[in-house]
Structure 1
Amino acid sequence: MTDDTAQGTRLRVGSADGVELDVLEQGATVQRLVVTGGDGVRRNVVLGHATEQEYLDSTDYLGAVVGRYANRIAEGHLVLDGVEHRLGVNDRGHHLHGGPDGFDRRRWEVVRHDADRVELTLVSPDGDQGYPGRLQARASYAVEGSSVLVDLRATTDAPTIVNLTSHCYFALDGDVAGTSVLDHLLRVPAEQWTPVDAAGIPTGEEEPVDGTPFDLRGGPRVRDVLAATHPQLADAGGVDHDVVPAGTGMRTVAEVVSPATRTRLEVRSDRPALQVYTGNFLDGSTRSLAGHPIERHAGLALEPQVPPDSPNRPALPGCVLRPGETWSARIEWHFSAVDA
């Protein structure tokens, strides 16, 4: 289904009795994702806004494809093949999620839309936000059974960097006033995490999660993670950190369970790292698709990507794309019921 809304065209894929997904042209944004919980109730399990202006006024990136580089680049400073580039800064003097006018703020072009798949493209010209090279990006969402498959691709006509991801906020209890993810269980099979300074820039090398609140291997309640005493949690107001899920290639990088609705989300990806963000800066100043204030910890963002500031840290996974190459990333969201 396609219909015109205040955000431009809204594209619906999936089915009314299975997974149903609404995608907006603006930001290639997932606005709504409806699944049936283990309790038998159908509900929207992502955060979204009702109007285009709300997306433009917000700095929360709800559901958008963010880029050209997701996460932070220190001071907007990039050196590629010996050439220095200055990127736009928009977060405490640093470059975040593609800069002041990132991909989340652009109107993408729809190139395919059928019952189970939608594909959108965006051209980012040479010099856009300071990046070199003309980049052609593509985002594809497909519904297969109880899963959503997200494929991101990019090509360039000159050397550049790429790190696209989805910035969906999941809320498995639904878009209901006063709900939060605090009682969700979050499991991330990661043995390493990335300490950052007060502005979210890595301070050094990755460190073991052992003995820290960032040890999510046992699937703790989000509430219990945030209750821990740790300077990194204090600086970020919660978790807003990169972790390194074990293994390579397509694998499970996170699992979220809502005991209240008996709904499970498994996130799979081929990306080397995962940014975990517990919605620390959501403050009630914006409204959800259902019209409720989006309060602190109302959603949980799980963003597969390369680690923050990778262009300036040679030891971290690279993100350079050259002419003739195709950059790609795969993210999968698998939903299932939890037994009573």
Structure 2
Amino acid sequence: MRNSGKTLFASRLALSATAAVIVSASALLPLAAHAAEATQAPAGKLADGTEVSAITLKAANGVSARILAYGATLQSLCAPGRDGKAADVVLGYDDLASYVDHPNYFGVTVGRYANRIAGGTFALDGKTFQLPLNDKTNSLHGGGKGFDKVVWKVVSVKSGPVASVVLSHVSPDGDSGYPGKLATTVTYSLDEAGNLTIAFEAKSDKPTVVNMTNHAIFDMAGEGSPAGAMGQMLTIPAAAYTPVDDKLIPTGELRKVEGSVFDFRQPRRVADGLRDGRDQQIVFGRGYDHNFALDKGVTTNPQLAARLEDPASGRTLEVLSTEPGVQFYSGNFLDGTLIGKGGRLYRMGDGIALEPQKFPDAPNHPSFVSARVDPGKPYRHVMIYRLTTSR
């Protein structure tokens, strides 16, 4: 059984490697009778009167996504189970005001730098830059007013074999302490097979650091399900992870997952190691809040970073990415103080985040894949949420 399981996983990995080709190929097909559809509608206004749009992408197979221009946020992602009934599989809020008044990174685009930077400082070319400290002694997800707290410009909304929305934002030089004027775009694309591709692009006029991703928190049984995500089966194709100190900053070590609660190379229940207080890393993170060094490394086309399956409904998510790491966060700080969709209180275990990205604190670790971006050498990260149904 072990060998057959490895063969099956290898097969899935090979399929994942062709994801970008599949998405690109769909654009070459004749216009189908059931093309993917994109629509735009008002989502509300901010206190200063700024209008915010919502864009809905719908595919023929029942997958749909709703994106808010505020934070370039994935507000909902609906997918059918094996019974044909669709459910929203991401945590979040029903209304714009809650994203503004009670920010918790639900489904947002995070940047300029996703994850933590120790002490909020990093050096480039001999100059040190100080970022806001919004995570005790660290800068988290850009610090200060990150990309999750701005209204992105809606550049285009298109229907067709691939439905898409392009959002743009210009971050000025010195924004939250980061050097360089950074022109960024986020493109959400949904094809007829139900693959949601998210492409992040950025150009800077000065040397800087960039690390962008989406911060969706998933429950494949459907957001707000009674059992949450802890019984779901998780796979991460990584033989090593980056252990952290008590401030959740990587030590610089790449530690093998073999023989530990961090070994997700074969499908395992999320809950299996979640409360194992014998592992100091679980104690530091209050559960999982760790970066996994993907076996694939940096790739030109998106390849498998993680797979999450709900055995009851059959809903399965594959996360693919061009980046070298994925942060697995088990929602450890959801404590019942946030009222989410449908008036439900979110608690630990209600969902997990799988965030493809550069490694945390990479600007302070020369041995990690560099997050540096220079003029004329733009940043690009492509990730895919592939939604299927197991039988």
For this structure pair, what is the TM-score category when the shorter chain's length is used for normalisation? Answer: over 0.9
Whole-angstrom CA distance in 2 between matches of 1:9 and 1:179:
33
CA contact (8 A) 1:178 1:295 kept: no
What's the offset of the Cα at 1:175? 2.2
Letter matched to residue 361 of structure 2: D
Query: Unpaired runs of 5+ in structure 2?
Result: 1-38, 46-51
Deviation of the 1:205 alpha carbon: 1.3
Aligned to 1:311: 363
Q: State the alpha-carbon separation in 2 of the partners of residues 222 and 58 from structure 1.
A: 27
- C-alpha distance after superposition, 1:206-252 (max 9, x if no partner): 11111111111111101112133311112211100000111131311
Where 1:101 maps in the other structure, the secondary structure is coil
SS where residue 223 of structure 1 aligns?
helix
SS of the residue corresponding to residue 173 of structure 2 reads coil
Q: State the Cα deviation string for residues 286-315 of structure 1 (Å, max 9, x = none).
A: 122222111112111000111111001101
Q: 2:62, 2:86 within 8 Å by CA — same for their partners in 1?
A: no
SS at match of 1:27: coil
User: Are 1:171 and 2:171 matched, yes or no?
Assistant: no
8 Å contact kept, 1:242–1:275: yes
Write the distance in 2 (CA, Å) between the matches of 1:98 and 1:323.
20
TM-score between the two structures when normalised by the length of structure 1: 0.96
* Aligned-residue offset at 1:79: 0.4
What is the Cα deviation at residue 16 of structure 1?
6.9
Q: Report the Cα offset of residue 46 of structure 1.
A: 0.7
Q: Which residue of 2 aligns with 1:186?
A: 234
Distance between the aligned counterparts of 2:137 and 2:294, measured in 1?
29
Contact 1:19–1:33 (CA under 8 A) maintained in structure 2: yes
Q: Is the Cα–Cα contact under 8 Å of residues 235 and 308 in structure 2 kept in the other structure?
A: yes
Task: Show the counterpart of 2:190.
Answer: 143
Q: Which moved more, 1:92-101 or 1:196-205?
A: 196-205
Q: Structure 2 residue aligned with 1:134, among 181, 184, 190?
A: 181
Give the match for residue 5 of structure 1: 43
- 1:232 partner SS: helix
Mark the CA change 1:56 to 1:179 in structure 2 (over 3 Å): closer, same or farther: farther
Distance in 1 (CA, whole Å) between partners of 2:380 and 2:324 is: 13
Q: Which residue of 2 aligns with 1:154?
A: 202
Task: Work out whether 1:253 is the aligned partner of 2:305.
Answer: yes
Amino acid at match of 1:221: R
Q: Deviations over 1:33-75 (max 9, x none)?
A: 1111123211101111123332233342000000000001000
SS across alignment from 1:267:
strand
CA distance in 1, matches of 2:118, 2:350: 28
Name the CA distance, whole Å, in 1 between partners of 2:44 and 2:359. Answer: 35
Residues 316 and 390, structure 2, Cα contact 8 Å, conserved in 1? yes
Residues 1:60 and 2:60 are matched in the alignment:
no
The alignment yields a C-alpha RMSD, in angstroms, of 1.3
Report the equivalent of 1:223.
Answer: 271
Q: Specify the alignment match of 2:335 in structure 1.
A: 283
Measured in 1, the distance between the counterparts of 2:235 and 2:61 equals 28
Per-residue CA deviation, residues 90-131 of structure 1 (Å, 9 max, x unaligned), is 001111000021100111000011231011001100000000
| Structure with greater Cα Rg | 2
Alignment map for 1:43-122 (pairs within 5 Å): 43-115=87-159, 116-122=163-169
Identity of paired residues, percent?
Answer: 37
TM-score w.r.t. the length of structure 2 is 0.84
Residue type matched to 1:232 in 2?
Answer: Q
Q: Give the aligned partner of residue 382 of structure 2.
A: 330
User: In structure 2, how many angstroms separate the alpha carbons of the residues matched to 1:14 and 1:263?
Assistant: 17
Distance 1:31 1:87 in 2: 28
Shift of 1:176: 2.8
Q: Which of 231-240 and 90-99 deviates more?
A: 231-240
Counterpart amino acid of residue 237 in structure 1: R
Give 2:30's aligned residue: none
Report SS of the residue matched to 1:190.
Answer: coil
8 Å Cα contact 1:67/1:98 also seen in 2: yes
| 219-228 vs 301-310, greater mean Cα deviation | 219-228
Question: Is 1:36 matched up with 2:77?
Answer: no
Superposed displacement of residue 15, structure 1: 3.6
- Confirm or deny: 8 A CA contact 1:147 1:334 kept in the other structure: yes
Residues 187 and 220 in structure 1, CA contact (< 8 A), matched pair in contact too: yes
How many angstroms does 1:187 deviate by? 0.4
Structure 1 residue 241 corresponds to structure 2 residue 290: yes
2:100–2:149: 8 Å Cα contact kept in structure 1? yes
User: In structure 1, how many angstroms separate the alpha carbons of the residues matched to 2:94 and 2:101?
Assistant: 12
Runs of 5+ unmatched residues, structure 1: none
> In the alignment, is the contact (CA less than 8 A) between 1:175 and 1:288 conserved in 2?
no
Instruction: State the alpha-carbon separation in 2 of the partners of residues 234 and 60 from structure 1.
Output: 22
> What is the aligned residue count?
339
